[in-house]
Amino acid sequence: MKSATDLLITRTYKEIWARGEEYANSGRARIASSNEREVEAFVKGTELYEVHLKFSGGGISKKCNCPYSRDTSTRHAPCKHMIAVAILWDEIRGIKRPSKDEIEFDTIPPPLVTRSQYVSLFKNPLKADLELLRIAAEEIGSWSRPHSRLSNMPHFSNNEDEPLSTKEIGKAFREIGTWTNRKRYDYYFCAGEMVAAFCEVMRLVKKRLKVSSPMEAAKILREAQKFHYELVMELIDDSDGLHAFTEAHLEDIFNYIKRMPEAEDERVVLAKELKEFENHRNDY
Ligand SMILES: [Zn+2]
């Protein structure tokens, strides 16, 4: 006999499974009609939801009108109402529900980065854990497709006593740009890694500007801004608004330069260069 729980368990998040089982135990689910092939049921959640499960081919088709099942990012995964119904439907047909061990090993573990961790990343982009950003950007929507793994950052010296040049930073950015030529580069799923690499470079830039003149620093900032534009507009799919991270790092350096002691004879040109940065802030 076909088991509905067997077919659903490997596609269900552990947390959802536990809640579905709880629903089944607490009498929230009521089977309206069932046979060997399909089941119609009502489950009382926030509202009364209608669940329909049906064996089809080697699998099972499933429907529920709850918000979780309608959400595009989660709709491929079974909801707790479906689980509650699957458990009861199986039991009517004499099939035991999965054991604790089976639930432990067969369900999908919780995502590595939780929704709230993801949200908190955006709250302080300058301090954001870039490793978390790399992982998070891959997991959004809890589905993915094969894509290449990128380096953490391009070749770029972290020697704080070494003055930085526009040439050196230009080279680092060009290297990031070439990553898009990799075989399985994915504009959406690699976006987090691209943005993280940019931020890594910017964090080092800030350290290395200590031995640069404000004028040189301002030119480097403009170079970074130009690449940033290309990054966001052409190199990644920024549907998730990752430019919040890159922009925060640009602004941080802008503010840093404004606080640098400037030479009298450079004041006018420097102001002009910084004005350029401000003029191009909202280019996209
Ligand atoms: Zn549901």
Q: What are 225-241's pLDDT values in tens digits? A: 999 999 999 999 988 88
**227 CA to centre of ligand 1 in angstroms:** 45
Rounded Cα distance, 246 and 223, in Å? 13
Helix (H, G, I), strand (E, B) or coil at 79: coil
- Cite the beta strand spans of the chain per DSSP E: 29-34, 38-44, 48-56, 59-64
Residue 279: which pLDDT band, with cuts at 50, 70 and 90? very high
**pLDDT at res. 121:** 87
Rounded Cα distance, 139 and 154, in Å? 23
**pLDDT at res. 92:** 96
**68 CA to centre of ligand 1 in angstroms:** 6
- The DSSP code for 235 is I
The values of phi and psi at residue 43, to 5°, are -125, 130
Find, among 113, 101, 90, the residue nearest to 41 by Cα: 90
| Torsion angle of the four alpha carbons 255, 258, 259, 265, in this order, in degrees rounded to the nearest 10 | 160
pTM over 0.75: no
Q: Could you tell me the two tokens for 235?
A: 């190199």
Find, among 100, 85, 66, the residue nearest to 27 by Cα: 85
Q: Is the pLDDT of residue 175 over 60?
A: yes
Contact 205, 153 (CB under 8 A): no
Mean confidence (pLDDT) of the chain? 90
For the four alpha carbons of 84, 90, 94 and 100, in that order, the dihedral sign comes to negative
**pLDDT at res. 15:** 84
- Per-residue pLDDT averaged across 183-198, rounded? 91
Contact 125, 248 (CB under 8 A): yes
Find, among 57, 56, 14, 22, the residue nearest to 39 by Cα: 56
**260 CA to centre of ligand 1 in angstroms:** 58
**63 CA to centre of ligand 1 in angstroms:** 8
**pLDDT at res. 118:** 79
Residues near ligand 1 ion, CB 5 Å cutoff: 64, 66, 69, 79, 81
**pLDDT at res. 136:** 78
**136 CA to centre of ligand 1 in angstroms:** 25
Q: Which residues pair with 48 in a beta bridge?
A: 44
**72 CA to centre of ligand 1 in angstroms:** 13
Percentage with pLDDT > 90 across the chain: 64
Q: Could you tell me the two tokens for 93?
A: 């047909």
Q: Is the pLDDT of residue 104 over 70?
A: yes
Q: Is the pLDDT of residue 115 over 90?
A: no
Q: Could you tell me the two tokens for 253?
A: 């350096």
Rounded Cα distance, 54 and 62, in Å? 7
